[in-house]
A and B are shown apart, each in its own frame.
Chain A
């Protein structure tokens, strides 16, 4: 028992010395990680919106962005209650997942942009052909109509009216 007490005391002192070094993140470290995650969240959101505006289907990206933002909110909450380790871990996880979303949004946006241009080109060529067809058919329709109309007018006999004085 007598030899056990100093050993236990040494163990306790060691634990007290090691624990803060290995487990506790500093406040400034967490703040930096949170700021980084905030910036990454904004950047990822802007990329997703750009892809959405370009006409891409961003449903999957929005789901993933939601997961990351939920993580960021949890990190902020943990920071507020002083749970720095968890806040740091969540902020770092959030930043990692957001960088993937941003990269994918750029790819999807480029694909959507190319598809959009192609769609406009195809639609424009169909519309131009259709407009030309309408113009030609209306022109020939008018020529035929005019010819028939004039023939009808020429074929009419003049109406003779009796003079009132006679």
Chain B
């Protein structure tokens, strides 16, 4: 190695050392690009497993599921989970247009979740005043966590699935600080139930 090459090596080493000693301050001042931001929504069975979900439900029978939300938004997020009930003909949320279901919510949860944290809650529900006339079932009341809602929903006999089907589904909404309101987060999970008398 000649003197010029040694000179270049010294300058390079000096630069690297300067960057190393300045890195704590650079870390405070510079903001690096963060990863993908998203939220998770799930329902688990009563044993806190993705198993043993309620399906055949009799009138008056209590069913339990666990609803969970996880935050990966880079900061704390304010969520609402709307619990809705639909029959086979009522629409689900439109995932491609990010539009929620027009079905009115029955029960709801509201909470904040810190970045990287999860929120879970046990949801107990039961149907009451169920009546069957020919091939139509009428569901009068839905109780969620001890609160009874008048739903008056009908369902036709499904000859393929052999049952009167209703779906309890959960929509995730998140507070938008720009719009200053809760906005649908385009995430939902549902549970098909064969409701019998």
Contact = CB atoms under 8 A, between A and B. Distances in A.
Contacts of B22: 127, 130-131
Contacts of B112: 45, 48, 62, 65-66, 69
A78 B14 CA distance: 68
A134 B175 contact: no
Contacts, number: 94
Nearest to A39: B180
Contact of B21 (A62, A72, A119, A127): A127
Contacts of B21: 127, 130-131, 133-134
A80 B149 contact: yes
B28 A49 contact: no
A115 to B, nearest CB: 12
Contacts of B25: 120, 123-124, 126-127
A24 interface: no
Contacts of B177: 45-46, 49
A49 B75 contact: yes
Contacts of A45: 78, 112, 175, 177
Nearest to A124: B25
B6 interface: yes
Contacts of A142: 7, 10
Interface residues of B, number: 36
Contacts of B24: 123, 126-127
A59 interface: yes
Given A52-B76, A69-B112, A135-B14, A81 B149 contact: yes
A52 to B, nearest CB: 6
A145 B6 CA distance: 9
Nearest to B79: A69
Interface in A134-158: 134-135, 138, 141-142, 145-146, 149-150
Given A123-B28, A131-B21, A62 B114 contact: yes
A140 B192 CA distance: 77
A65 B19 CA distance: 42
A65 B78 CA distance: 9
Contacts of A80: 105-106, 149
B87 to A, nearest CB: 19
Interface string B142-169: 0000011110000000000000000000
A120 B30 CA distance: 11
B42 interface: no
A48 to B, nearest CB: 7
Contacts of B76: 48-49, 52, 58, 62
B17 interface: yes
A48 B114 CA distance: 11
Interface of B: 3, 6-7, 10, 13-14, 17-18, 21-22, 24-26, 28-29, 75-76, 78, 80, 105-112, 114, 147-150, 175, 177, 180-181
27 contacts: A41-B110, A42-B78, A42-B175, A42-B180, A46-B180, A52-B75, A52-B76, A69-B78, A70-B109, A73-B110, A76-B108, A77-B107, A80-B106, A81-B147, A81-B149, A123-B24, A123-B25, A124-B25, A127-B24, A127-B26, A131-B22, A135-B14, A138-B14, A141-B10, A145-B10, A146-B6, A149-B3
Given A48-B112, A73-B80, 4 more contacts: A42-B180, A66-B112, A76-B108, A138-B10
